[in-house]
Amino acid sequence: MTTLVTGAAGFIGSHLCEDLVRRGDNVVGLDCFLGNYDRQLKEGHLTRLAGETRFELIEAGILDADLRSLLEGVDRVFHLAALPGVRSSWGQTFADYLTHNVMSTQVLLEACKRARTQRFTYASSSSVYGETSGLPMREDSSTSPYSPYGVTKLAAENLVRLYHRNFGLPTVCVRYFTVYGPRQRPDMAIQRFLQAARDGTPIRVFGDGDQSRDFTYVGDIIDGTYCAAVTGQLGGVYNIGGGSCVTLNELIALIEAVSGVHLQVEREEAKPGDVRSTEADCSL
């Protein structure tokens, strides 16, 4: 089995590449090394794959790559490449989100349609649900994004479904809920809070801290993504969540208990696009 993984050097993508290689796949990793955080960190994500004969890294963006050649002999695609971040998606940067999250997805879908790819799995986000009191969030719940980032992820989801319905491309979408674990991005809350505990620096909390998230360990994300790709209903969408909701205040208390360090909290106003709560219904 030969598999293409886009966003291969990212937090989740690098874990997925390792998992697929362990399962015996030949993996082609595609990554353009976006400058949203330190390139050296992304290169470090791939350390365990260095010298692995069943892994090949291609540095290119989806819009620049020779997808026709790249997809030759590829059986399935995991499309994880995206520009992440809710708060940074406002204003002029929205054009970048459209390019990396929507246009790139459409171009890749076109290429997979021509190549008759056997399975296309798209990594979406709980951000497609937006602000809602209807918890837990079910796959058939209404989708009303609360941020420009969420808008682009939902637009890409809709493209994926369109290519399944109109052209029969075998697709599955998975919606990730607040992923954490080794290699997570430096801007993410758990990473920032742990670093502050280590360095003795203050942390910023936007809002009252009672907003909650369905934190999901990256290993569970990988297992769920693979399961959906292999056994999921074609054209379907699946939540992948951690099964419990934790407020930021509870997270801070937990880190203080584990580290033995009292965190200095600087509170600021809630930011546009930040929803109050997320909770995944994973009963499908």
- Active-site annotation, residues: 149
Long-range contacts of 193-202 (CB under 8 A, 24+ apart): 193/251, 193/252, 193/255, 193/263, 194/255, 194/259, 196/263, 196/264, 197/255, 197/256, 197/259, 197/261, 197/263, 198/259, 200/261, 201/264, 202/263, 202/264, 202/265, 202/266
CB of 159 within 8 A of CB of 104? no
CA distances from 107 to 40, 111, 159 (A): 28, 6, 10
Nearest residue to 144 via CA among 244, 273, 281, 9: 273
Residue 112 token pair? 């997979």
> Using CA of residue 109, residue 113, residue 115, residue 120, what is the dihedral sign?
positive
